[in-house]
């Protein structure tokens, strides 16, 4: 599970452990070592944009037995701002982490899946539609969607299913950080996060449960699918 130190990735790692999997968390935040220890996962310090570190993390997770599941969750979502203010290096960084590194993670993981397996990419509802001031992020997540389709077609014959989840707003450290300016200006963040048809504040575990479905035998005939988990906000 990349980016498993916090937020959605941490919840996914916990659910996978509960289901009996042996889990490795790869994250650039060294605090991930504590998150991993708390649930009985292995931790590898890794910046997924560094191909050597990524390859090492995947090989460590695979050990001598290989991998069955890979969760490409790590991603960044700094505020993009209006298009006129978005610099090239900002766009490059967004695409480097959210697209190129996820692509590399699939390449490395698939090489360690001799029995076939299941890969889940973390997309976003931002990659399915538009939105003001999030264009670079939206573009990166749209690329995750098309990459999911293409890798599902290519890796299916090797017994590897590739799916994505498109979460709506989920209450994570990353989202709290991003919404801080709104909170300071008096906006009720809790209400904001729960502003969807089912009226629930999206929690990391809502996404983890969907991941559990996708990697299980229940989803044996599901590949190339983008599962929207957003409380109906894009319905
Ligand atoms: P978060 O910021 O709370 O946690 C992300 C984790 O990824 C952190 O532990 C961070 O250290 C790690 N990470 C970031 N860059 C990394 C890198 N280069 N190498 C290794 N680890 C790295 O984020 P989150 O809210 O849990 O989001 C997880 C994923 O879900 C992201 O891909 C995000 O785009 C996606 N997503 C989140 C939401 C949401 O509302 N929270 C909605 C849609 C999609």
C-beta 61 within 6 A of ligand 1 = no
Return the ligand 1 atom nearest residue 137 CA: 34
How high is the pLDDT of residue 119?
99
User: Which stretches in the chain have pLDDT values below 50?
Assistant: none
Look at ligand 1, atom 31, and give the residue with the nearest C-alpha: 75
How high is the pLDDT of residue 108?
98
How high is the pLDDT of residue 79?
83
C-beta 164 within 6 A of ligand 1 = no
Please say whether the beta carbons of 46 and 56 come within 8 A.
yes
* 83: exposed, middle or buried (Cβ count in 10 Å: 0-12, 13-18, 19+): exposed
pLDDT tens digit sequence for 135-180: 999 999 999 999 999 999 999 999 999 999 999 999 999 999 989 9
How high is the pLDDT of residue 136?
96
Active site residue 2: no
How high is the pLDDT of residue 130?
84
Tokens encoding 29: 């935040």
Residue 197 to residues 168, 184, 206, 228, 234: CA-CA distances in angstroms? 12, 26, 15, 14, 9
How high is the pLDDT of residue 187?
94
Return the ligand 1 atom nearest residue 3 CA: 7
pLDDT tens digit sequence for 5-28: 999 999 999 999 999 999 999 999
Q: Rounded to 10 degrees, what is the CA torsion of 104, 49, 166, 126?
A: -120
Residue corresponding to tokens 């991603």? 75
C-beta 136 within 6 A of ligand 1 = no
Distance of alpha carbon 133 from the chain centroid: 21
| Catalytic residue of the set 69, 137, 144, 152 | 137
C-beta 5 within 6 A of ligand 1 = yes
Look at ligand 1, atom 35, and give the residue with the nearest C-alpha: 122
């Amino acid at each position: 599970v990349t980016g498993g130190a916090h937020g959605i990735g941490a919840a996914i790692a916990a659910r996978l452990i509960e289901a009996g999997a042996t889990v490795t968390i790869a994250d650039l935040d060294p605090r991930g070592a504590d998150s991993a220890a708390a649930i009985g996962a292995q931790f590898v310090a890794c910046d997924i944009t560094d191909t050597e570190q990524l390859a090492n993390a995947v090989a460590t997770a695979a050990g001598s037995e290989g991998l069955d599941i890979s969760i490409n969750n790590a991603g960044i979502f700094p505020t993009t701002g209006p298009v006129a203010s978005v610099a090239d290096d900002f766009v490059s960084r967004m695409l480097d982490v959210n697209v190129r590194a996820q692509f590399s993670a699939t390449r490395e993981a698939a090489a360690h899946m001799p029995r076939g397996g299941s890969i889940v990419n973390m997309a976003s509802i931002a990659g399915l539609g538009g939105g003001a001031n999030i264009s670079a992020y939206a573009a990166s997540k749209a690329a995750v969607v098309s990459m999911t389709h293409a890798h599902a077609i290519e890796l299916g014959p090797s017994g590897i299913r590739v799916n994505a989840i498109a979460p709506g707003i989920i209450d994570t450290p990353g989202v709290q950080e991003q919404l801080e300016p709104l909170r300071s200006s008096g906006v009720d963040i809790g209400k904001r996060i729960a502003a969807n048809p089912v009226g629930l504040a999206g929690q990391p575990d809502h996404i983890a449960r969907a991941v559990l479905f996708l990697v299980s035998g229940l989803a044996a005939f599901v590949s190339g699918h983008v599962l929207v988990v957003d409380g109906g906000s894009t319905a």
